[in-house]
Structure 1
Amino acid sequence: MAAARKPVLLGLRDTAVQGCPKGPAAWTASKLGGVPDALPAVTAPGPQCGRCAQPLALVVQVYCPLEGSPFHRLLHVFACARPGCGDAGTRSWKVFRSQCLQVPEKETRTAQDTAPAVGEGPPAHTVVPQFQPYYICVAEEDDYGNSVGLDHAHSLLQDYQRREGVDLEHLLSLCSSSDGDEKYEKTNIKNGDQTFYKFMKRIAACQEQILRYSWSGEPLFLACPTLEVSEVPACSGCGGQRTFEFQLMPALVSMLSSPNLGLAVEFGTILVYTCEQSCWPANQKSPMEEFCIIQEDPDEFLFK
C-alpha cells in the first residue's frame, strides 16, 4: 500500500508590512522581502553573494517551529538581486536556520536586550537591497478543489505544446479519465514534459501560491531532477541528513522585482533542505546555514 502523502501548506501573499515591527510580532511572522528579523539571542543573518561579494536581499522569512519541539524556529532565504548573478546558482542563494528555546515573553524581551552584538551583518555604510515586504498567510492545499483552475493550466500547456511539439490533445484526453495519471505515466512523452505537466496540474487549483511547505515531504519538481537531490550535503552542524522542508514557487518572481532600483530575482522553483534533526548546539548565537536546490524556469513567461 502506498504511503499517505504528507499534507502541504501553501503560502500566499498577504498585506504589506507596515512600519518596523519589533519583538515576537516580528520574528513569529512569515514574510517576503524586507529585512530579516532575529530570534532572541541569535544574530540576524547578513550574507554576501559568492559571486559579486555584495549583500544578498531577503527573499522570504518563514516562521516554522516543528511539532513537539521546544524551539522557536526561523528560516531565511536570500538571493542576489543584482544583474549578472542570476546564473551563479547556490553561490547567489543562501538559506539560514535560527532557533531559540521557547520561554515566557518577559524572558524573551530580556534576552533580546542582553543579546551580544556579533559582527556578522554587512558594514553600516553598505546598502542592502530590499524588496517590498509583505506578510505571508497560510492555507491548506487540500482546501482547494482539484479541478479549479485547470482551464488555465490547459491554456499554458497548449502554448507549451506549440513550442515543444507535445501531443497535448492525447495527453489531456488521458488525464480526463478516472485512471488518467496512470495512463499518462505510460505515454511516450519526454521526462521533462511529464514533470512540467505534473507541476502545472498540481498548482492549477491555486495559481497564486508563492510557497509550498511540507516538512520531510516530497518536493514538486518543475524539471526532471538529475543528481542534485541525491547530492544534498549532510548538515554542517551535526553531520546528519537533510530533509526537504519547503519550496519557493514561480508566482513569487513578479513580487521580487524593483525595476527602478535595477533589482530582480528569477527562478523556476527553489527547493529548501534543512537538518533532519533540526540540531541546535548549546549556546549557539549565529544562524546555521542550510541548503537549497535551484531549478530554472524553462518557460518563465508562462507565470507572469
Structure 2
Amino acid sequence: MQESPLIGVYDGPIEKKNSTYYYTNKIGGSQDLIPGISATYYRCALCDGILTHVVQIYCPLAASPYHRTINVFACTNPQCYGKPESWKVLRSQCLESEMKDINKDNQQVKQAPVFATDWCDEADDWGMEAEDSEAEICPHTNLDTAQTVTERQPDTQTAGPVDSIGLEGLCLNGSGDRECAVAPTAVPTFQSFYISVAEETDFVGQNNVEHANKLLKEYQEREGVAVGELESCEGEGRGEKYEKAEPKHGDAVFSNFMKRISLCPEQVLRYSWSGSPLFICERPSNIHQMEPPCAQCGSPRVFEFQLMPALVSLLRSTDLSSELVLEFGTVMVYTCRESCWTSGSNTPVEEFLLVQADPDQKLFK
C-alpha cells in the first residue's frame, strides 16, 4: 500500500480559557497532561535554559487500549538551534480504566468519549470532535517526594489563554535529569494554535495552487531547476524533466523535499507511524546507529512524525516585547515500536528525535 502521510496545518488561535486537553492537537501554549502524569518543566542540556513547549499531538495507536499524547519541547537560545540536545520529546499514556479510577478520586469529573479507534488507520481527525464536546476534564497530578503541584493557572497569551499546571519550589536533582519545577511566570511560551489534519492525498488535484506554484517558480529561477507547474508535476514529460534536472547547488534531496511539500506548503507537521520521514538535506549515513533502542524496553524505534519549516513562522512569544523564536528545517520524531508503558506510571517516556537545519529558510517566511 502506498504510504499516505497525514498532514497537520494551522487551524486558528486558541482563545478560550482552559479549552485544551491532552487530546488537543496544538502548537505552542503549555502541555496538557494526561490524567495521572506529573507536571514537570525541562531544561536544555546545553545552556540550562528552560525548554519551551512546541507542539502537542494526540496519537493513540490502532488496536491499542491506551490514550497516547506526545509533547515536543525546544530551547529558544540561538546558540542551541539545530542541536538535538536542546530538544526533548515525551510520550505519555494512560488506560481508559485508569482514567475512570482517577476521575473517581476527582469527584467523578466527566470525560469526553475519545477512543483509540478514532486515530491512525480509521482516523480522519486528531480528536477535534472530542474538543467540540462540552466535556470538562481536569488533569490529575500526582504528588511525590520530588515535586509539589499547585493549582491550575492560565497562560497569558495574545492568542488566548491556555490551561497549565503550576509548580513551585522544588527541582529534580539526584538522577541528573534536566527537569525542574519552576514558577509558571518564568516559563517561555509560544502563542497557541489548533492543528487540523487531512491526508496528503486530499491535496492532489486541487485547483487552488497559486501559492505552491509561486514558491516553486521562485525556487526554479534561483536554482535553475525545471520544476514546472504543480498541475503538471504528475505528467510524464514534466515529471521526467524535473527528476533529471540538477539544481545549481547540487542538493537533490532539498529539491525533492520542495516538490513533495508543494501540494501543501503551509503544512506544519507530517504524521506517518512506522513510515518514512521526508529529509530536507542529506540523510545521515549512520541513521540506524543514531536511533537508539527504547531505553525502557529495548525495542527498536520507528519514525512517527516530523515538524515542518512552515511551523517556524507560527512560533512567536505570547509576550509581545519578547524576541522568542525558534529556527529549524525539520525535526523527525522516532518512538518505541511497541509503545511500551508501565501501568500506573506518572512519568512520560523520553523518545528520540533528529534535527535538520533548513538550507533555504527564507522560502517559508
TM-score (norm. length: structure 1)? 0.85
1:191-243 per-residue CA deviation (whole Å, 9 max, x = no partner) reads: 96322222112211212211111111111111121225322111111111100
Q: 286-295 or 274-283, which moves further after superposition?
A: 274-283
Q: Which residue of 2 aligns with 1:227?
A: 285
Partner amino acid, structure 2, of 1:16: P
- The answer to whether the aligner puts 1:215 opposite 2:212 as a matched pair is no
Kept in 2, the 8 Å contact 1:149–1:205? The answer is no
- The answer to whether the aligner puts 1:9 opposite 2:67 as a matched pair is no
Q: Which residue of 1 aligns with 2:84?
A: 90
1:158-191 per-residue CA deviation (whole Å, 9 max, x = no partner) reads: 4445554x4x23x649956426556654555689
Aligned counterpart in structure 2 of residue 71 of structure 1, from 56, 66, 70:
66
| CA distance in structure 2 between the partners assigned to 1:281 and 1:107 by the alignment | 16
| CA distance in structure 2 between the partners assigned to 1:35 and 1:11 by the alignment | 19
Kept in 1, the 8 Å contact 2:35–2:99? The answer is no
Question: Judging changes above 3 Å, is the alpha-carbon distance between structure 1 residues 179 and 221 closer, same or farther for their aligned structure 2 residues?
Answer: farther
Q: 213-222 or 252-261, which moves further after superposition?
A: 252-261
Could you say what secondary structure the match of 2:97 adopts? coil
Q: CA deviation at 1:153?
A: 4.3
Kept in 1, the 8 Å contact 2:56–2:72? The answer is yes
Q: Which residue of 1 aligns with 2:201?
A: 142
User: What stretches of structure 1 move > 6 A for 4+ residues in a row?
Assistant: none
Could you say what secondary structure the match of 1:247 adopts? strand
Kept in 1, the 8 Å contact 2:35–2:141? The answer is no
Kept in 1, the 8 Å contact 2:271–2:304? The answer is yes
Q: CA deviation at 1:260?
A: 2.5
| CA distance in structure 1 between the partners assigned to 2:237 and 2:219 by the alignment | 24
Q: Which residue of 2 aligns with 1:18?
A: 15
Q: Which residue of 1 aligns with 2:142?
A: 115
Q: Which residue of 1 aligns with 2:115?
A: none
Q: Which residue of 2 aligns with 1:242?
A: 301
TM-score (norm. length: structure 2)? 0.72
1:15-65 per-residue CA deviation (whole Å, 9 max, x = no partner) reads: 32235427xx51111111011111111123422111111110000010100
Q: CA deviation at 1:297?
A: 0.5
| CA distance in structure 2 between the partners assigned to 1:32 and 1:237 by the alignment | 28
Q: CA deviation at 1:97?
A: 0.5
Could you say what secondary structure the match of 1:73 adopts? strand
Question: Judging changes above 3 Å, is the alpha-carbon distance between structure 1 residues 224 and 124 closer, same or farther for their aligned structure 2 residues?
Answer: closer
Aligned counterpart in structure 2 of residue 279 of structure 1, from 340, 343, 347:
340
Q: Which residue of 2 aligns with 1:253?
A: 312
| CA distance in structure 2 between the partners assigned to 1:106 and 1:285 by the alignment | 16
Identity score, percent: 43
Aligned counterpart in structure 2 of residue 54 of structure 1, from 46, 49, 54:
49
Could you say what secondary structure the match of 2:76 adopts? coil
| CA distance in structure 1 between the partners assigned to 2:141 and 2:101 by the alignment | 11
Question: Judging changes above 3 Å, is the alpha-carbon distance between structure 1 residues 180 and 264 closer, same or farther for their aligned structure 2 residues?
Answer: same
- The answer to whether the aligner puts 1:268 opposite 2:329 as a matched pair is yes
Kept in 2, the 8 Å contact 1:237–1:279? The answer is yes
Question: Judging changes above 3 Å, is the alpha-carbon distance between structure 1 residues 172 and 193 closer, same or farther for their aligned structure 2 residues?
Answer: farther
Question: Judging changes above 3 Å, is the alpha-carbon distance between structure 1 residues 175 and 194 closer, same or farther for their aligned structure 2 residues?
Answer: farther
Aligned counterpart in structure 2 of residue 28 of structure 1, from 23, 36, 49:
23
